[in-house]
Homo-oligomer: A and B are copies of this chain.
């Protein structure tokens, strides 16, 4: 394996982009990443996407996106791992360059979800659960997360308002991100009175969907000058059961623990070295579980980090510095690439008001299903 670096990044705003097609949105991010990299072509295109077959009646996004972005001809494929599709596509593109098979790769995560009704989107998202043993029983994806959150509150004695800091921090940071979907602050009072979706998850515990795309351009690290490179120092993927009831422990993200431990090993770091962490806050409960599985808090204590103010850009472990899934938005198959783009922005020092001071090592973690697939990537400046 040869080391790989991120040479360029691109992203679109996350919104209801009714005037643009799926391919338009993807190509916009790809072309930005090409410009940012100073390149005109790429040997391969890896598309992270979850729902194009169900929602957009379009499979085979590889050639669709490659063609529309002016990259027709080479390798082009879609990689899917539910809401972890973005990071899964990134890891596939990474291996293509690391193997020596390709010299340059575009990874683009894209999702266009708002053309359908909320009911249709909810049904589409439920395909990330176990179709035979969860979804067919009538439980939605938010319903599954609500069961986990309720159990967590019962087991460890937290109350609902204790999860508020995750949402408040995400919204506060999104104000300064021009690509974010929800650019307004929220207060504890807003959080407490927001509409219930699936007890105990209310509207401000949950992330909004959206239409958007993010892209990165990968090259062999040795092909560019050292010093200010953004290196992929760790990449790991781990899986668990799809159905939550099949797990030994519903409140511990085993796949997060495993993939993070492996990524730490590859990068030669530990949780104490991570300057910024873009985690997968699809619901506030997932923020708590991620922080625990990744070694930033003991089991049942993840919520404490928020309450103590340690997750803000100037805190001990800044998370969701560009708004996270909660406020930047969660175009599901694109999210994992947004996270990589945002960590890259932090390591480059391009984050303005929410810049983490002297960020040198950053981590991105993307989760598919209720913890079924978890990919962890560590980026380093160097």
Q: Which residues of A pack against B, CB within 8 Å?
A: 1, 21, 23, 50-51, 53-54, 56-64, 66-67, 72-82, 84, 88, 91-92, 95-96, 98-101, 123-124, 126-128, 130-132, 135-136, 237-242, 246, 255, 258, 368-369, 372-373
Query: A73-B258, A99-B1, A101-B1 known; A242 and B80 CB under 8 Å?
Result: no
Looking at the assembled complex, report how far the CB atom of A83 sits from the nearest CB atom of chain B, in whole angstroms. 9
Q: Which residue of B lies closest to A259 (CB)?
A: B75
Q: Which residue of B lies closest to A45 (CB)?
A: B239
Are the C-beta atoms of B53 and A77 separated by less than 8 Å? Answer: no
9 A-B pairs with CB atoms under 8 Å apart are A50-B53, A51-B53, A57-B136, A60-B369, A62-B239, A75-B239, A76-B81, A76-B237, A79-B79
Are the C-beta atoms of A131 and B72 separated by less than 8 Å? Answer: no
Contacts of A131 in B (CB 8 A): 56-58
Contacts of A91 in B (CB 8 A): 75, 77
Contacts of A53 in B (CB 8 A): 50-51, 53-54, 80, 124, 127
- Among the listed B54, B76, B99, B373, which residue makes an inter-chain contact with A95, where contact means beta carbons less than 8 Å apart? B99
Are the C-beta atoms of B373 and A59 separated by less than 8 Å? Answer: no
- Among the listed B63, B100, B127, B238, which residue makes an inter-chain contact with A59, where contact means beta carbons less than 8 Å apart? B127
Are the C-beta atoms of B72 and A60 separated by less than 8 Å? Answer: no
Distance, CA A96 to CA B97, complexed state (A):
11
Contacts of A100 in B (CB 8 A): 1, 98-99
Distance, CA A56 to CA B58, complexed state (A):
16
Contacts of A59 in B (CB 8 A): 50-51, 80, 82, 127-128
Looking at the assembled complex, report how far the CB atom of A266 sits from the nearest CB atom of chain B, in whole angstroms. 10
Known A59-B128, A95-B99; 11 more pairs at CB < 8 Å: A50-B53, A53-B53, A57-B135, A58-B132, A59-B82, A63-B368, A64-B242, A73-B239, A74-B239, A78-B81, A80-B80
- Among the listed B1, B60, B130, which residue makes an inter-chain contact with A80, where contact means beta carbons less than 8 Å apart? B60
Contacts of A51 in B (CB 8 A): 53, 59
Distance, CA A361 to CA B101, complexed state (A):
22
Distance, CA A241 to CA B132, complexed state (A):
36
Q: Which residue of B lies closest to A369 (CB)?
A: B60
Distance, CA A270 to CA B319, complexed state (A):
54
Q: Which residue of B lies closest to A238 (CB)?
A: B73
Distance, CA A321 to CA B324, complexed state (A):
53
Distance, CA A302 to CA B67, complexed state (A):
28
Contacts of A98 in B (CB 8 A): 99-101
Contacts of A54 in B (CB 8 A): 53-54
Are the C-beta atoms of A60 and B81 separated by less than 8 Å? Answer: yes
Contacts of A76 in B (CB 8 A): 81, 237, 239, 373
Distance, CA A319 to CA B246, complexed state (A):
45
Distance, CA A99 to CA B235, complexed state (A):
13
Query: A53-B51, A53-B54 known; A60 and B128 CB under 8 Å?
Result: yes
